[in-house]
Chains A and B, each alone.
Chain A
Amino acid sequence: MITTSTNMYREPSFASSAHRQDPNKCRQIRTRLHRLVSSSLSLDAGWAQRHIASCPRCQSRIVGVGKVELALSLVKSQRHHLDLLMRANVQAVGVLKHSLRETPKAEKLKNILPKPKLSEQLSRYNHAAANVAACSAILLLAKIGVFSSMQGFQTHSQEVLKQYYAGHIGQDLADEIFPA
């Protein structure tokens, strides 16, 4: 009984010390488990596909869910008139108190037009931003390559000159001219 209680006491401390030693282990295990589960339990898994191919009930369920998703995307894709917000504001402001209706903010609301979201506004620059990023990456790589090759060229030429001088005027003088 005493031993069990001691073990019970020791186990959490061991676990916590192990966690302290390798804090990324939990994350790694979670990622691995997630990958394992998603590879074996997704609809794209072989056993699931084989079952669906032979089961009319599952087929109808999947068709039904697909139909709902399609209908939802159709509802989302339908755009309203540009002045709808303005009209709705006019109607809503019209039932508020007189003093509120007369404020400059209310007047502004009566003439407001829908603005696209920031993500939508920036989406048109996505292509250009990707191009700029690619160009800068290429330039950076080219620059690094040019510099490293120039350095290599300089080192090699120094070695050749050193050998030349060593052959003609002696090693000591060559070492003095080209110190290591």
Chain B
Amino acid sequence: MFDKAASYGLVWDFSASAAVDESQRWILSVMQKHGQELVTMLWRILGNDQDVCDAYQSTFLRLAHCQSGQKPRHLKAYVFRTASNVAVSMLRRKLVERRGLSATTADARCTGTPYSGTVGSVAASPAHHFDSKCLQETLRCYIARLPEYLRDVITLHDLAELPYSQVGKILGITAATARVYRCKAVQLLAVWMSKERQE
């Protein structure tokens, strides 16, 4: 009797998992449809191949486990916002690590001990001001520091190259509000970048 029940249970489990798998095929469709745009956006936020792959993987892992495997209602919005948040979290973590490393380097220099680390603070010397890589890294730093509502607009409009109408739909705001937020974000970034130059 028990064996029979167990076998029925197995059969039910198998059919349930098959149904879940079948229902999760949309993840592959999403990957096919938005993968290229996502990779481009992540590359522009992170600027590193391995980080892009990690962020992309985390995004789809979250998507697969979102609402216990159910398809989110606004799929594009979910995917883009998740990817952007994951990438910015990674960027922030990297910045903290860099600061720690640069502090260690400074300590090592003070005490006279040699240190092989090369990562320092971003855009430290004025001579590197117009160095393209330096400028990009500085921008990435400050984008990570922006408030969420401004950062989302900058990442979606400028880095993912989505039009304002789509950015508005994804963030649940109007296109005009998205424009205003973009303008504010650029102003804030400009102030921070100017301050850094003065320092």
Contacts and interface: CB of A to CB of B under 8 A. Distances in A.
B35 A112 contact: yes
Contact of A75 (B17, B59, B61, B159): B159
B15 to A, nearest CB: 13
A136 B158 CA distance: 39
Given A65-B186, A72-B139, A84-B52, A112 B193 contact: no
Contacts of B187: 61, 65
A61 B190 contact: yes
Nearest to B32: A109
B21 A99 contact: yes
A78 interface: yes
Interface string A106-121: 1011001011000000
Contact of B139 (A71, A81, A94, A100): A71
Contacts of B161: 76
A1 to B, nearest CB: 40
B27 A85 contact: no
Contact of B57 (A80, A92, A99, A108): A92
A88 interface: yes
Interface residues of A, number: 39
Interface size class of B (residues with CB under 8 A): 35 or more
A90 B196 CA distance: 40
Interface of B: 17-18, 21, 24-25, 27-29, 31-32, 35-36, 39-40, 42-44, 47, 49, 52-54, 56-57, 59-61, 64, 132, 135-136, 138-140, 158-159, 161, 186-187, 189-191, 193-194
Given A61-B190, A71-B136, A74-B135, A80 B25 contact: no
Given A65-B190, A75-B47, A78-B44, 20 more contacts: A61-B194, A67-B135, A68-B186, A76-B159, A78-B136, A80-B40, A80-B43, A80-B49, A84-B43, A85-B36, A88-B42, A92-B59, A93-B31, A95-B61, A96-B24, A100-B21, A103-B28, A105-B32, A108-B32, A109-B32
A89 B32 CA distance: 9
Contacts of B35: 85, 88-89, 109, 112
Contacts of A67: 135, 190, 193-194
Given A68-B193, A100-B28, A95 B136 contact: no
